[in-house]
């Protein structure tokens, strides 16, 4: 390092530190943490309230106010099919959370087996799941809760690194599952390529018995642009490859209607659904079908669904633009950070230089901008390179996102320059 370079770095640091002091004096209180709909987005579904007008009877004559219907109303299965692009016959409609369904399916596979008692993962000693990283923290929590060991594989711009996935599965028969968020992945926002989908559908041929992919299609209809990227059908790919039992798909209306008060779905082969229903029937007499029918009256077909999602996009788009413009303005052409440019979903994922994520999040928090804790996108909360930060811009207003991103940019720069200066010592 030349002395003049060191001087330049110190000058830059004091300039950034001054900017940071100005930000501190504003005493901001902004939040870019969890991906949830804004109240404007929630307003879009207010018609759900009172939509039944006393008519509780489903198309097949079921009185939705009563017990029963473990796998859901036929029209609610069709809603799930419209969201996931599968056949209604393959859909089970659960309660109001897809995360709960994922936990229930994983617990069933672990304790009781999705096929029969002999297929239960608990019989096989150590159980491991492949976790593409960065990924969704609540998936990792399910694994932790069940004592499933997590093995990371890198995410790329076309989905999980499939060479790494296949190599891990071939080398280790204790790998019994894999998490996937195939469209607008949480957090990187990428859509799996056709080749990735095909290779995932083939995993059932090379994996050990009872391997299951948890295909969490939480953002399947959550496009921000008109000509949205198409996700290839994993169902068709598994049918082509004779591996239908190896994939279970999940979705919900949490980010379509009301978060946590919507309807959740699992789509799977007849064999998987039968295995799951056996365990589910011990837990409940049936789901909330009144909520199911409210949702089917509100979103009666695919075109109503897509028209509704367009309204979400109109509200979300300016917020994403604000994030992406700030990142491009500050970091394009530099080595200070890397990010994808998602055209759907709820997140922008930003990689700082190695070792700068925690410090960036700390600096931002002190300046009144809450970010998801660094490391949260990795199993056990540990990002080995301390690089990844998940930005969730849906809740703040557009001016708030703009303000928060100014802080974010300053904090990334400050953390990076201080790291460089420390390395000089
Ligand atoms: N899966 C993913 C990938 C998510 O991002 C979220 C919400 N953050 C969920 C599932 C939760 O869905 P639900 O509300 O249906 O439990």
Which residue do the tokens 């837990």 mark?
A: 283
Distance CA 280, CA 109 (A): 12
Residue 138 CA to ligand 1 center (angstroms) comes to 8
Distance CA 357, CA 415 (A): 8
Measured in degrees and rounded to the nearest 5, phi and psi for residue 338 equal -140, 145
Query: Which CATH architecture fits 58-300?
Result: 3-Layer(aba) Sandwich (3.40)
**Given the CA of residue 35, which atom of ligand 1 is nearest to it?**
8
pLDDT of residue 359 exceeding 60: yes
pLDDT of residue 4 exceeding 90: no
- The finding on whether 377 has its CB within 6 A of some atom of ligand 1 is no
Beta bridge partners of 287: none
Taking CA atoms only, the protein residue closest to ligand 1 atom 6 is 218
Residue 229 CA to ligand 1 center (angstroms) comes to 20
Average pLDDT taken over every residue of the chain:
97
Ligand 1, residues 252, 264, 394: which to mutate, most atoms within 8 A of Cβ?
252
Most distant CA atoms of the chain, gap in Å: 82
**Given the CA of residue 259, which atom of ligand 1 is nearest to it?**
14
pLDDT at 425: 77
Give the confidence band of 174 by pLDDT, cuts at 50, 70, 90.
very high
pLDDT of residue 3 exceeding 70: no
Q: Which two tokens stand for residue 190?
A: 């990428």
Can you say whether the dihedral through the CA atoms of 409, 412, 416, 421 is positive or negative? Answer: positive
pLDDT at 138: 97
pLDDT of residue 140 exceeding 60: yes
Give the confidence band of 5 by pLDDT, cuts at 50, 70, 90.
confident
Residue 31 CA to ligand 1 center (angstroms) comes to 19
User: How many of the other CB atoms lie within 10 Å of CB of 356?
Assistant: 27
- The finding on whether 253 has its CB within 6 A of some atom of ligand 1 is no
Contact assessment for residue 256 and residue 305, using Cβ atoms and an 8 Å cutoff: yes
Distance CA 142, CA 177 (A): 12
Task: Assign residue 125 a region (left: φ > 0; alpha: ψ between -120 and 50; beta: otherwise).
Answer: left
- The finding on whether 98 has its CB within 6 A of some atom of ligand 1 is yes
- The finding on whether 181 has its CB within 6 A of some atom of ligand 1 is yes
Give the confidence band of 420 by pLDDT, cuts at 50, 70, 90.
very high
pLDDT of residue 2 exceeding 90: no
User: How many of the other CB atoms lie within 10 Å of CB of 318?
Assistant: 13
Measured in degrees and rounded to the nearest 5, phi and psi for residue 72 equal 100, 165
Distances (CA, A) of 157 to 84, 323, 350, 389: 22, 19, 13, 17
Distance CA 28, CA 83 (A): 39
Ligand 1, residues 98, 185, 188, 214: which to mutate, most atoms within 8 A of Cβ?
98
300 exposure class (CB count in 10 Å sphere: 0-12, 13-18, 19+) = middle
Q: What is the mean pLDDT of residues 188-216?
A: 98
Q: What is the percentage of the chain residues whose pLDDT exceeds 70?
A: 99
Q: State the ipTM, two decimals.
A: 0.99
156 exposure class (CB count in 10 Å sphere: 0-12, 13-18, 19+) = middle
pLDDT of residue 167 exceeding 70: yes
Residue 414 CA to ligand 1 center (angstroms) comes to 33
Radius of gyration of the chain (CA): 23
- The finding on whether 186 has its CB within 6 A of some atom of ligand 1 is yes
- The finding on whether 264 has its CB within 6 A of some atom of ligand 1 is yes
Q: 168-194 burial string, b = 16+ CB within 10 Å, else e?
A: bbeeeeebbbbbbbbbbbbbbbbbbbe
pLDDT at 1: 52
Distance CA 32, CA 393 (A): 6
**Given the CA of residue 186, which atom of ligand 1 is nearest to it?**
3
Query: Which CATH architecture fits 3-32+306-424?
Result: Alpha-Beta Complex (3.90)
Residue 218 CA to ligand 1 center (angstroms) comes to 6
Q: pTM of the full predicted structure? A: 0.97
Distances (CA, A) of 187 to 7, 24, 205: 38, 28, 29
pLDDT of residue 141 exceeding 70: yes
Measured in degrees and rounded to the nearest 5, phi and psi for residue 212 equal -135, 130
Can you say whether the dihedral through the CA atoms of 41, 43, 47, 50 is positive or negative? Answer: positive
Residue 255 CA to ligand 1 center (angstroms) comes to 8
Measured in degrees and rounded to the nearest 5, phi and psi for residue 213 equal -90, 130
- The finding on whether 256 has its CB within 6 A of some atom of ligand 1 is no
User: Domain locations in the chain?
Assistant: 3-32+306-424, 58-300
**Given the CA of residue 34, which atom of ligand 1 is nearest to it?**
8
pLDDT at 34: 80
Which residue do the tokens 């909330």 mark?
A: 288
- The finding on whether 410 has its CB within 6 A of some atom of ligand 1 is no
Distance CA 401, CA 395 (A): 9
Q: What is the mean pLDDT of residues 75-94?
A: 98
Give the confidence band of 357 by pLDDT, cuts at 50, 70, 90.
very high
Distance CA 284, CA 29 (A): 42
């Amino acid at each position: 390092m030349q002395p003049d370079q060191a001087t330049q770095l110190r000058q830059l640091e004091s300039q950034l530190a001054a900017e940071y002091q100005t930000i501190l004096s504003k005493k901001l209180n902004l939040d870019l943490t969890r991906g949830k709909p804004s109240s404007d987005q929630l307003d879009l579904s207010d018609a759900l309230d009172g939509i039944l007008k006393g008519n509780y009877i489903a198309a097949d004559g079921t009185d939705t106010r009563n017990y029963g219907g473990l796998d859901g109303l036929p029209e609610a299965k069709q809603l799930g099919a419209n969201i996931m692009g599968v056949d209604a016959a393959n859909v089970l409609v659960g309660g109001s959370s897809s995360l709960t369904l994922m936990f229930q399916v994983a617990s069933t596979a672990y304790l009781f087996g999705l096929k029969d008692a002999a297929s239960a993962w608990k019989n096989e000693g150590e159980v491991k799941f492949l976790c593409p990283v960065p990924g969704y923290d609540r998936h990792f929590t399910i694994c932790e809760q069940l004592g499933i060991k997590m093995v990371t594989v890198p995410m790329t711009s076309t989905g999980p690194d499939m060479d790494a996935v296949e190599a891990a599965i071939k080398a280790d028969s204790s790998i019994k599952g894999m998490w996937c968020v195939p469209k607008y992945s949480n957090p990187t926002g990428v859509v799996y390529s056709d080749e990735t989908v095909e290779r995932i559908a083939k995993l059932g041929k090379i994996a050990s018995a009872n391997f299951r992919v948890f295909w969490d299609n939480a953002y399947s209809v959550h496009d921000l642009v008109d000509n949205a990227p198409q996700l290839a059908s994993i169902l068709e790919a598994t049918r082509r490859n004779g591996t239908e039992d190896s994939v279970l798909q999940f979705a919900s209306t949490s980010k379509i209607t009301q978060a946590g008060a919507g309807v959740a779905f699992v789509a799977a082969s007849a064999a998987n659904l039968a295995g799951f229903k056996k365990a589910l029937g011990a837990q409940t007499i049936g789901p909330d079908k009144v909520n199911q029918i409210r949702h089917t009256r509100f979103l009666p077909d695919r075109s109503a669904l897509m028209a509704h999602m367009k309204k979400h996009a109109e509200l979300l788009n300016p917020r994403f633009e604000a994030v992406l413009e700030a990142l491009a303005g500050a970091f394009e052409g530099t080595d200070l950070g890397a990010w994808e440019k998602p055209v759907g979903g709820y997140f922008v994922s930003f990689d700082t230089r190695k070792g700068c994520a925690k410090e960036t999040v700390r600096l931002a928090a002190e300046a009144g901008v809450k970010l998801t804790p660094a490391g949260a996108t990795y199993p056990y909360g540990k990002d080995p390179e301390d690089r990844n930060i998940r930005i969730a811009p849906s809740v703040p207003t557009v001016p708030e996102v703009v303000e928060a991103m100014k802080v974010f940019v300053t904090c990334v720069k400050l953390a990076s320059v201080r790291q460089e200066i420390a390395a000089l010592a």
